[in-house]
Structure 1
Amino acid sequence: MKSIKFFAIDIDGTLTLNGNGALNLDALAKLRYLVKLGYKVIYVTGRSSLEAYALSVFGGTTHIAIGENGGVITTSPVEHKLLANKENCLMGFNILTKRIKGVNQKPVFPRLTEIVLERTFDIDEGNRIFIENDLDLTLVDSNYAFHINEYKINKGFGLAFLLRKLNIDSDEAVAIGDSETDIPMFKQSRFSVTFESSAQNVRNSATHLVGGTNGEGLINAIDLIIRGKAF
């Protein structure tokens, strides 16, 4: 692990239990152990950066969070770097509601750069509508919700921005996640780990695969890294 400085960690489906937001405390303990060893452990999530930042404070990991699928970087309770414009996403939402039935916002913590929707419609149809209307937007599925983001925004975009700010090379980063939205951050990290239960395209995009779900996979991923077998 001598070349590794940074761990980018997804939250939902990676650190949580059964999709209800509860944390796997054994997995959290593993992350705190990495911090104790001197590594930066950063949450990269589709949730709000405020949720992730609060988790970093109370959970004892590095006090930085990338939220909204890479659209916001939070470094303190009052410091938020916005990498996108929410007004563009709101325009896309208004168009979708006129063209597709069942498009509803999901009740979530306030967002600064994106619109979060219930998973109640055909996401491919939504993206076709964006293309037809020449909107520089995309719909992505985090398995937690559908997200309207500016096309450039993804977890990899936010991660690359933060790594530059911290003067950390992508070769010094590990990314761990379970869903399609994690693929862009896999591409920004030398090493990436996902789970046997992940979708095929996610498994194909990671450099390493481990068993386990509901946080157990994260434990297995960290154990793999600590033992040096991934490198």
Structure 2
Amino acid sequence: MSKKYFFFDIDGTLTNKQTGELVPSAKKTIQKLQQNGHFVCIATGRAYYKTKDFAKMAGIHHIVSNGGAALTINDELIENRPLDHERAVALCLEAQQKGYGMLIAYNDSIDVLMKDELFIQQVGYRQEPTRYILDRSLKYDQIEQIYKIYIAISCEDEDKLDLKDSLGHIRFMDEYLTYQHDAKDEGIYKMLKRVGGQIEDVVVFGDDYNDLVMFKKEWTNIAMGNACDALKSQATFVTKASSEDGIEYACQHFGWI
């Protein structure tokens, strides 16, 4: 059997969507894949700091994180790109001018900058652990690096931002829009080049709309049974739900374990 290069999404793929816990059979499957000589990697939109502990728990040593902009090889972070600075600043200025509250992640941590309390007033506090740093003299163009931008804008109003599509964005919450890298496919290509893998040997697993970007015709795409219909329609194979041992089932189906 040729060596395969596996890239797993986390939420709803490696984890039970309801509990957020790593599925035990998924962890066992990862171990078996590695024992069989395959390359195993996470591919997630999560920031690196939110991914590394999960990867360690899962026994995975390679990571594509930050939506494809961060690469970790053999547990060592080798790249973590911020957003395009000029476009990020322009977006912040427009959002401010139109009265939408913002939080700005300026490094790879739970810290966010805010010029005022508008974001919190408009949508409340984020559900994820966040440390809010208020700086009323904040100038966006003087922030050295911008990794993510959270804009308090509803689905109905988001098209009011002229620069809405100038950067990658994902809506995880109804109340606000998250600007971050949305190029997990580019991260996979970069990782392959680093480790010497072949495109036709790639296998990706995913479950949600933000995984569509990494479902490519040139490799094997596996949608979880709990995946959105749009992803299932692009899949090479639809396995069982993550909570029903879907990763193990697919890998047994193809003879990888």
State the TM-score, normalized to the length of structure 1: 0.77
- Give 1:27 deviation, angstroms: 1.2
Distance in structure 2 (CA, Å) of the matches to 1:9 and 1:142: 19
- Give 1:112 deviation, angstroms: 7.0
Question: In the alignment, which residue of structure 1 is the partner of 2:35?
Answer: 36
Deviates more, 1:195-204 or 1:78-87: 78-87
Deviates more, 1:32-41 or 1:140-149: 140-149
Equivalent residue letter for 1:28: K
Gaps of 5+ in 1: none
Structure-2 change in CA distance of 1:109 and 1:196 (3 Å): same
Distance in structure 2 (CA, Å) of the matches to 1:134 and 1:143: 16
Query: How big is each residue's C-alpha offset from its partner over 1:127-164, in whole Å with a ceiling of 9 and x where there is no partner?
Result: x345x1376213224689953125xx411111111112
Query: Is the CA contact 1:106–1:116 (under 8 Å) kept in the aligned structure 2?
Result: no
Distance in structure 1 (CA, Å) of the matches to 2:5 and 2:45: 19
Question: In the alignment, which residue of structure 1 is the partner of 2:154?
Answer: 121
Distance in structure 1 (CA, Å) of the matches to 2:58 and 2:50: 12
Equivalent residue letter for 2:254: I
- Give 1:24 deviation, angstroms: 0.9
2:102 aligned with 1:72: no
Structure-2 change in CA distance of 1:52 and 1:215 (3 Å): farther
Query: How big is each residue's C-alpha offset from its partner over 1:84-106, in whole Å with a ceiling of 9 and x where there is no partner?
Result: 42745465356446248538655
Query: Is the CA contact 2:91–2:164 (under 8 Å) kept in the aligned structure 1?
Result: no
Task: Indicate the SS of the match to 1:27.
Answer: helix
Runs (4+) of structure 1 exceeding 6 A deviation are: 109-112
Equivalent residue letter for 2:178: H
Distance in structure 2 (CA, Å) of the matches to 1:202 and 1:139: 18
Question: In the alignment, which residue of structure 2 is the partner of 1:205?
Answer: 234
Q: How many residues align?
A: 220
Equivalent residue letter for 2:68: G
Deviates more, 1:16-25 or 1:72-81: 72-81
Question: In the alignment, which residue of structure 1 is the partner of 2:123?
Answer: 102
Distance in structure 1 (CA, Å) of the matches to 2:173 and 2:37: 32
Question: In the alignment, which residue of structure 2 is the partner of 1:170?
Answer: 199
Between Structure 1 and Structure 2, whose CA radius of gyration is higher? 2
- Give 1:185 deviation, angstroms: 1.4
Question: In the alignment, which residue of structure 2 is the partner of 1:179?
Answer: 208
Deviates more, 1:76-85 or 1:202-211: 76-85
